[in-house]
Structure 1
Amino acid sequence: MLTMFEKRVFDDKAENITERIFENENESILFFKVLVNYLDMTSKNKLGLDKLSESVLENSLEMKAYFLETLKAMAEIAARADELTPVYTTGQLAKYFGVSITTINNWINEGKFIGVERIEKNIQSRISADTLWKAKTGKLYSVAQIVKEWEEEQKALGNNRYDTDEVKFLTEQLVLYEKKYGGDFEGTLGLKEELSSEEQTDAAAWSYFRRKFDGLRDDKLTGN
């Protein structure tokens, strides 16, 4: 699937792509006819191309305009969320990533969810499973991968879920660090290039608690 970010990039380049394709008039006409007929016969979302007459082929400017419109329509269809593609709220993502909703919103503002923009205040963003998330290392993961990993961890735990005391402990630790530094990890220690020895220790522990909040395996199962 084409992400909304990729769609916007494509839309910005569509005019240049059209110009390059129409550099050779004979080839461009042939390509245009093949594309129009193929799309009209195969597209679930009809583009109305069957209404075009042969006269459009005699006017290069009109043909370019139709072609450009077609490219953008194709990108729109490609980027449209499929009914089978899950979409998650910030609250759901907070659970899957093991962080707070505030952190998810900060990640959106920072562009860590590629192509996702923060919508109006007090309205939860909804992010497709196909969206790519940029980790601190720079590596990209799809939201679907994160969700799958979380679900596998929960399945592995089976009936041996966290003890209530353990969940309470992890929650309290996360709250303590947020209070100590006046915000979430990404907005405090995560932004600093140089950390003191105390901050380095806190950063390591904080990161650990965040990763394990929703995905910690029961040590008793593995004997660790």
Structure 2
Amino acid sequence: MFMFNPDQVEVAISEAQSIPALLGKHMEQEGKNTKIFLMALANYIEKTSPLSKDEIFEKINLEDLQSTSDLSSQMQLLLVHMVKVGVEDGLVTKIYTTGDVARFFGVTVATVNNWLSLKRLTGVEKEARYKQARIPETATYTSATGDVMTIREAAEIYMTNKKRTSVRPLTPSQELQELLHEIIFFEKKYGGELKNTLAQKMEKLTPAEQRDLNEWKHLLQEVEDYRV
């Protein structure tokens, strides 16, 4: 990561302000294409900088761009915003595991994995070398009702409640026990192991059974990951 001194910050912002004017002729000829480019930049900001998107999105309006001057001013706002985020000191993003996020929301690890599969958690990358997804605090969770919350906000709420109730976080051993309890719940519900029950059912699964099947599989995978 590059570090910037105050003079370099000033230069970077100045360049962001100047570049749109230099592209004036191009924007005049390619106005429609430039608008599409600006929309892509706006999407990038929304996906990678969710905590600051409201601030910048209050200032820009990409729906009603008409003149080259409008295109230039909107591009300038986007570029300056991106530069300011890029040169900000101490901008370190915390990374959480699925277990961490499960604790923040008071759900199981399997539920968090389901959220990932259903794209209810966005801004997350799962790399092969990691047993669990690495979830940045800037990732966003969308509830079933459409409410959006960043993982940072969920962590802050969790920590505040933890201080009030003095609840200790689960140790890895305790978390493994929680996973096993969840698996036992499904085994009792369906009268046996997954491979001998839902996984073998010949009739079409009901929506509830399909959800249980998915969560049960995730639980078994999480236990397997803990034992590796």
TM superposition score normalised by structure 1: 0.42
Quick check: which has more Rg, 1 or 2? Answer: 1
TM superposition score normalised by structure 2: 0.41
